[in-house]
Each structure stands twice: as C-alpha cells, then as structure tokens.
Structure 1
C-alpha cells in the first residue's frame, strides 16, 4: 500500500500488524512529531463497516482509562481510516521473548483487566475478543485494551439488555473464547471475564490444554476446543495457580447471560491470592526489572556495587584473594578454562528473586571471586578524576577489580617450576591486556556517572 497522508496531518510509515478486517500502520503526527497508530480498513471489508463500528464504540469509551484515545477518523484516498494513540508493547510480543510470565505479573495484569472490563461494561460494551495481542502496556506499565472491531453494544437506549439468543455464529478467537461462544450463545459480560482468565492462564503457563490438537479437521477444530474447555477438570486447568482462580472460574460458570458479575469481589480474590503468596503489587513487571539488571551489569569491569555486602561474604572474597597465588599451580591450558561461573551468592539472589528469574553477573574475573573494598579517595586518585556528587554519601564502594599482583604480571607470573611435569608458566600478557582495556572502561563509567 502506498504512503497515505491523512487529514494533511498524519502520515503512514510502516505496517505494524494485520488482522481480518484491517491493517495497522505506524504513523507520524506532522504537527508535533509524535508517533501514532493508523488503522486502515481492507477494501474487501468495506461493506462490513468495521471501522465505523469501532469508532462508534471508542467514542462511547472515550473517557475510560485503559482505552486508547482517538485523534481522527474518516476517509482518505478511498480508504476508511482511524488514527489512535500508539501503544507499542503487547502481551503477545512479551510472551514471544519470555515464553511465560511469573505469578506477580499475572495477578497485576488480572486486576487491571477486570477493572477495565468493568468500566467498559458499564458503558454497555462487550469486547468479545480478549487475547494477548489485544492487551497493551504503555511506558508506565498501564494496561490498555485495543481492537474493538468485533465488540458489541449490548444495552439498548432504554437501558434494557438485548435479548438472549442461541445458535449465533462463533465470534472471537477460539483459543481464548468462552464456552458460551463455542456453544453458539449470545455473549454477555461474564464471557469477557472468562476469556480474560484463559489469557492469564496462557501468560502463566505458556500454553493451554486445547492447543495443538491433532487429527481434527479445521472445520471441527473450534467445536473440539469448546468440548475440551467444558469437560476439563477445573483443578487440572488451574494447576500451579492460586486456588482463588478456581473460585473465580467456578463463580463465572454459574452466571447467566443477563447476570452482572461482582467485579469488586473478583479483584479482592486476586489481591488475596497475592497476599497468600507474599507478593507486593507495585505495578513492576519482571521484564522491566531484568532490563534494569541488564543495564546494571553491562560493564564487565569496575561496576559499582553501592549496596553493603555482608561481612561474611566479604571475608569469603578476601580469603579467595589470599589464595590467589594458587593460580600459578595450574597449567597454562587451565588458564584458558577460567570462565565466569555463577557464584553461590548470585545463584541465591536469582532463585529468591520476586520475579522468579534474574541476570547473572557477567564479570570476566568473577571466577576468582575477587571484590575489593576501595575508598572514594583511592578511586578518585587512581582515575585522576573527581567522584560524582551522588556517590559521595557512600563511605566505601565495593569495586570488582584485579589485585595488584595481576596488575603487574611481570612481578607475579615469574617462571614457576611444577612438580608433576616441569612445565613453566610465562608472563600472561593476554590477561594484562584485558586488564588494561577494562581499566579504560572503568574510567568511562565514572565519567558517565559524573554526567
């Protein structure tokens, strides 16, 4: 598709995604330079007026948090388009990288989704297509629901629900659709919540029991998935999840089409699950935490550890330092095997992480377990530069570095006689070159801190 200029303000750039009814492009607002999302209806679907229906629903939901804002809609070069707020991070893309999510993330997402669905339902709208691709997060981890293309207004102008029907065509995504959708029933508010539970279950486990069904014709697959959902034991379905999820699921199955769900009680049950699991709901997610850890550990040498290390751990490292001379008792071939394994301390930190995973410290010299305690004056003098103001409050800084012996390999790696095979260890110039290059990185780190 050629580049479109919409309303002499918005310009399409590249395709982001494509669905059954339209194509979503990354766009630019030429007035302020901000990025936007531009949804273009496929010409072959113009008779369905999906964009017009979505605009009607989004206009009704314009004041609800968790629903993207509309900037413009109309026709441009014979295309029906809608310009919306851009949200670049969706659950599907996160799951492609991570495969699954920890319990904390699932609980936090569940609460926000229940609250958004409650507000949407109050405005008389059913989403009817909850799936990871339609759940987005902004830079502050605020949750949004997108794609109201097959959503429906279920309340008439007089405030009465549209009548219940059966034998209606299946609508939604079969993997996450409610049991009622598979049976051909008119969907209600409970069905959005049931779909939300399937999405959260998928996020936690990375798969669902009805995925990858074999030896079933395509035209029978949707029906077969519905049968599995209806017959599977609830305890088996929510295995490894808090029992509160079972209570919510069984409660939703008892509701009828016209029932109004008790959203507040559902949120309280999720909060109770977090309490029982000793999880703090602080709107932080494991993918953001690990990005921060990655940034912290990016520098392989001279990375500042401003938190105090326990005394016993420091004594352990000091002991390792005193035993550093034992390195000369190893053959040259073994020097090539000095890889940086994860220390016991790091392993414990990773296993105890509230997010269930963490990044290993990737210091080249971590295999020696050497951490020096250096005063600010010593570091400043060695770098010939001042210490940044934000670090002056620390009396001591723990700095991963090399001992003096390795800084001057000529004094340390003298010709050494071995008992077993009389091999000799010569000066380790390679190690010296590594130290020199990493020392330059250390200077750069402090300059960045100063900036």
Structure 2
C-alpha cells in the first residue's frame, strides 16, 4: 500500500514537472505552441507588443473569456524586477490612472510575469501620429498630476516617467480635451524601477530613468524624491509641445557615463528657461520654480499645482476660442468690426501651419482691446473681464 502511495505521489510530481517544463517550452516556442497555462486560466500569445532591456510585453488572449490582455514577462530568470512591480501595483490597487493587476506569477524557469488590461497606445505613439493642441497636452498633464498625487501619498516614487510609460486607455477623438480629462483615460504604467521614498536613499550614485526624461538629480546621482517624478513629467509635456527636447540628439552612444553628464549639464542650464517654457502659459514657469524649490523628501503642494494647471487650461481654452472665432490677416489696417476682413480657420488646422499661433499673434497688427470687446459682445463680458493684456491669451 505504501509503495502504491509513493508511486502515485511520484506520478503527480512527474505530471507537475511536465506541466512546468511544457509551460516554459510554450513561451520559448510561441510560434509553434502559442499558449501559456496559468493556475486559473490559459492564455494564447498573439504577438509581441514591445520590449525593454529587461522585459518583453505580449498581446495575449484568455482562452476562457476570449478577452485580450497585455502580458509582461522578464527576459531572464530571477531578475526580481517584475516581482517588485507586482508588490507596488498591489499597493496602488484601485488608484485612478493605474492599470489593474489581473494575474501574476512565475514561469517554470523563474521568469516573473504579470497580466494587465491592454491599453490603446502610448503618448509617444500619439505624438508621432498627430499634432496635439496645447489644451490636450495640459489635460494629459493634469490627469497624470492627479494620479501621481495618489501614488506619492502612498510614499511611492515612479522614477521612470516618460512618454512610453503614459498610455491612452482607448481611442479618443483628435485633440479632445474633454475626453482626455475623463477618469481612467490616461494611465501610468511600468513601475519596474519604483521605490518607496524611504528606500530611495539606497539609489544614490546611480542614474535611474531614461536619458531624455530623468531628473537633474538623477544625473547627479543624488537621492531622489517626489519632485523628480514631477520634473520628468514636465519634460514629457515639453516633448509633446515641441516634438523633441533640446538634448534629444546629444547622446553619443560611445560612453553612457559621458552622456549622463553632458545631458544632465544641459538640463541644469536650460531648466526653467524660455527654451523649455516659451510655448506654454506663464504658469508653466511658475510650476517649474515651485518644483525646483522642493526638497527631495518634501511632498509637493498638489492643490496649488492642480490649480495652476486648471488656470492654464482655462486661459488656453479662451485663447483657442478667440483665435478660432476671429483671426485677423497680417498687414491689414483695422477700422471697425464690420469693415475688417477676417479669416476663420479651425484651431486644428492652424496647428499644422509652420508658424505657431503665438508667432501669428506677434506678427499680426491687432487692436487687442477691440478684439476683446468684439468677443465680449459675442460671449458676454463676464467671460472676458479678467483679460488685461495679450499675455493673458498667450497660446
């Protein structure tokens, strides 16, 4: 009887080992057998979405529900980065703007994996496919600010804010500020480098993040904090506005240490200068100064930050309304509203012109007070009462 029991136990162990090895084999030979069996369900790998230096991301279908998800897996066994990310995601459960962790575990060869909802596209993809309006960029910024506030209240730092790690959860209309502001549309992903504020002291003398979007403190190897996530976010906003950053092409690829130093020096010299903030309202420069004054472990005043973003959105929306309603052609004399010729161009089409709206406003000869009065007659004096100068409608 004892021999039979041991034999049955041996068969179970053999069967379990076979399942583990087969599971690993399926991952390594996904074109031949593109199915992965987990404890609760099975997933069929459809295609690879992308990969980083330490992980791969696949599009995978749940064979039970037929729903499609994103499956992220370590490239090499025993890395521990996915395991760390799983702990962070559990801590951030139910925070708006953080994807829900569906399943997680390890393969037979100890590669950590996690399964999350499949999102539509990254900010980098969005910037490549269309020119975003300023209001859309600010709406995205405000959404991420709200998410970061909740993340930071958990004493967690993201440490890798960049366009690739900010996702649009579903398709939206082009430059739809209203849709971008809806809860859950903008999602912050990839917490593989994340740490708690208490553990950030162990990250000194180490560069963390990406060359283009890491904070200045990261370039200097200093202890990182809440302010560094916000600094990286501001670089993302500048990237979306300009399509590039001043230091984007500076990496030599010869020496990473040299690149870290040179790009860090550029960020230090250009931070909170017109080079970065010239295409934003004045409040953007105030935000950068506000962040610059913080200590690494000091919690940002998020109510003030959100207030400045809302003010920029309001100013920009009014500016867009004015420019869309009435645009004066350059080098044209102005007498009365009825006598002046106007060109009505949708804002989206204006953004495709070589010259920005800001440049057009500077070049055109505009009787500003008359323009405000004309708009006031159209939408009411209450809306325009706070406009005092051309700066107040800077696009």
Which TM-score applies when normalising by structure 1? 0.59
Deviation for aligned residue 1:216: 8.0
Q: Is 1:106 aligned to 2:137, yes or no?
A: yes
Structure 2 counterpart of 1:38 = 71
User: Is the 1:104–1:355 contact (alpha carbons within 8 Å) kept by the matching residues of 2?
Assistant: no
Q: Equivalent residues in 2 for 1:4-43 (5 A)?
A: 4-7=35-38, 8-43=41-76
The verdict on how the C-alpha distance between 1:6 and 1:355 changes in structure 2, with shifts beyond 3 A counting, is farther
The verdict on how the C-alpha distance between 1:279 and 1:32 changes in structure 2, with shifts beyond 3 A counting, is farther
User: Is the 2:251–2:263 contact (alpha carbons within 8 Å) kept by the matching residues of 1?
Assistant: no
User: Is the 2:252–2:259 contact (alpha carbons within 8 Å) kept by the matching residues of 1?
Assistant: no
Larger radius of gyration: 1
Residue deviations 1:113-166 (CA, integer Å, cap 9, x gap) = 000000011112110001111001122641100011111122xxxxxx457468
Q: Equivalent residues in 2 for 1:62-101 (5 A)?
A: 62-78=93-109, 79-98=111-130, 100-101=131-132
Once superposed, which parts of structure 1, at least 4 consecutive aligned residues long, lie more than 6 Å away? none
Residue deviations 1:87-135 (CA, integer Å, cap 9, x gap) = 121111112222x422011110010000000001111211000111100
User: Is the 1:104–1:279 contact (alpha carbons within 8 Å) kept by the matching residues of 2?
Assistant: no
C-alpha separation in 1, matches of 2:286 and 2:189: 28
Structure 2 counterpart of 1:151 = 194
User: Is the 2:78–2:112 contact (alpha carbons within 8 Å) kept by the matching residues of 1?
Assistant: no
Q: Is the partner of 2:72 in helix, strand or coil?
A: strand
Deviation for aligned residue 1:12: 1.4
C-alpha separation in 2, matches of 1:111 and 1:186: 26
Residue deviations 1:328-378 (CA, integer Å, cap 9, x gap) = xxxxxxxxxxxxxxxx99x8333x4498459xxxxxxxxxxxxxxxxxxxx
Q: Is 1:196 aligned to 2:230, yes or no?
A: no
Deviation for aligned residue 1:246: 0.5
User: Is the 2:135–2:317 contact (alpha carbons within 8 Å) kept by the matching residues of 1?
Assistant: no
The verdict on how the C-alpha distance between 1:279 and 1:132 changes in structure 2, with shifts beyond 3 A counting, is farther
C-alpha separation in 1, matches of 2:319 and 2:139: 10
- Aligned residue pairs total 285
Q: Is the partner of 1:211 in helix, strand or coil?
A: coil
User: Is the 2:166–2:186 contact (alpha carbons within 8 Å) kept by the matching residues of 1?
Assistant: yes
The verdict on how the C-alpha distance between 1:162 and 1:73 changes in structure 2, with shifts beyond 3 A counting, is closer
C-alpha separation in 1, matches of 2:191 and 2:203: 23
Q: Is the partner of 2:102 in helix, strand or coil?
A: strand
Cα RMSD after superposing both structures: 2.5
